[in-house]
Structure 1
Amino acid sequence: MELRGSEQRIWARAECAGQRRPRADASRAGGRARELRRFGQAGRTLETVRAGGSGAIQSVTEPSRNRRHCGTAWAGTIVRAVSEKADIVVLDEPAVAQRLHYPDLIPAIAQALAALSSGEGRVVQPVRAVLPVAPHHGFFAVMPAYAGALGAKLVTFYPQNVGIHTHHAVIVMFKAETGEPLAVMDGRLITEMRTAAASAVATQRLARADAAVLAILGSGVQAGSHLAALRLVRSFKEVRVWSPRHAAEFAQRHGVKAAATAADAVRGADVVVVALNATTPVLQGRWLAPGTHVNAIGATRPDWRELDDDLVTTARVFVDSRE
């Protein structure tokens, strides 16, 4: 977090097995000092940290709910930067993860998609501005919108990243009545979950009610997110996954079946997710039975393709928006 030229990060650690959720609040207005409280391991020790700078902050730090394993985990932080004009809430990714859940997100996305598609002017969403970062093979996009709430997402996409996420983002919210900044949120996880939630809405509305077999092409972040989200809208009896490199690892981690080929994964499937950074078609229409629902979300560039001509020309195509 940056506040008037000074920088301080707040962390907490807590045991996840039956541990109470400690909280701390600290503030100091004006002057040359500000006070932060930081939890030690499991909240057993409490330290006070002073840093130079003007203004004030208020912080609430909570231990995370680690969904992958139990033990000691870094917690998320909410930081409220207080000035004479407005309070700005800053949420890092762990803080977002504690508060954003698919059972709440999926119906919210359904409402947002309906409002955008209604044509009644309730949502103002111009075409995103995309800036190529050619020397580093990346892209930077700005995505503003107004729907009663006012905000924008600033997102980067670096498909050649290794060891770190390919997408990074920040979401900024403003007070619609005055234009004052209200919140800055880490947007990577929000982007990840929003994408899967939109596919869940489409699957809920368009896939057969008795859909029992899910096939996923891809083993990255979106593959895992789609598995979690789609399981909330259909009761799948079988899940298959294929990817060029990590299908077996993904299958073991999530308790699903790894397929030897893409064709083996999708033949007989009722719902298919294609989440690959593919530049040429991976999914062939001839592999699919009539009535199969496909969520194709990986081809983010106009010159990238996941689906072959046969599938695109014979399927009924639904999009969340047109650009």
Structure 2
Amino acid sequence: MFQSLLRFLKIDRFTFLLIVAVIIATVLPAHGRGMPVAQMATSLAIALLFFLHGARLSRQAIIAGATHWRLHLVIFSCTFIMFPLLGVVFRPVLEPMLTPDLYKGVLYLCVLPATVQSAIAFTSIARGNISAAVCSASSSSILGIFITPMLVNLLIADSNATHDTQQALDAIWKITQQLLLPFVLGHFSRPFTAGFIGGHGSIMKFVDQGSILLVVYVAFSAAVNEGLWSQTPPVALLSLILVSTVLLAIVLLLTSFIGKLFGFSLEDRITLVFCGSKKSLASGLPMAQVLFAGQAVGAIVLPLMIFHQIQLMVCAFIAARLATRTEVAVFDEDEAMQAAK
């Protein structure tokens, strides 16, 4: 019955679960004492995800991922150059469709670092270069602490952006605790855990997908608790959904094309697509409280929240398709456009 429903809707099981997570967060959002519990569960799931990735990757794979400078440079360029340029170039089209605060939110979305856990999880599901994804996504979050405020000051003229060095150090320490430390511990546990993990791929899949579902639920719960639906006119919401979808489709096409242009392998192109097209909700929400203090923060972060949900669902579908590919399959622009639709 359930499988028949999925075939009728033409979606995979994971995408269906993502939609269910959004619906549950809308109807029964985590709040009060339940929110810290949900956030803690998400943090533990992400830590476990990185522990398992560290245990699965060999020392040679980590070195290869860290030294793949051409791929990392292209991913960072997509995140901090291509995205902001798109936000500026399409300003004449976007401003009439959106309110000033919503357009400011689109620009803010464009200057954010890449998300970490979902980019790596999708890369893993799609059988991309996981070691490169870990290095790139983690580095993007750290670099974003410094680059994002500068880009906000440059592109959003009326912002009173500030940058607290202590906050940057705290963010770096938080990333180290939650991501890098579990990864290192997992890697050094390889003599004891590599054999078990290698023979139980279902565990990796469960952690990959489970961590993303938790992130979706917790992030959307926070948005609903802040009055996401009551504060947004339907027309503005529909326009914003359209803008977010088109922006993501353009970036997916460009990252796919750039990967082929630079002659990257299929695994590297998968990493480029998932790391170069994602924007971090986890980093974006707290940074907005500082960068836009005294302004309409709710409206400014709304594009980020919508884009985040769309990118998770679209990338989940793409990752599921790539996971079933044969060794000769190629991810090209046509496939990206079809998947984005």
Where is the helix percentage greater, Structure 1 or Structure 2?
2
Q: Same fold (TM over 0.5)?
A: no
Larger radius of gyration: 1
**What is the TM-score when the length of structure 2 is the normalising length?**
0.22
TM-score for both structures, normalised by structure 1: 0.23
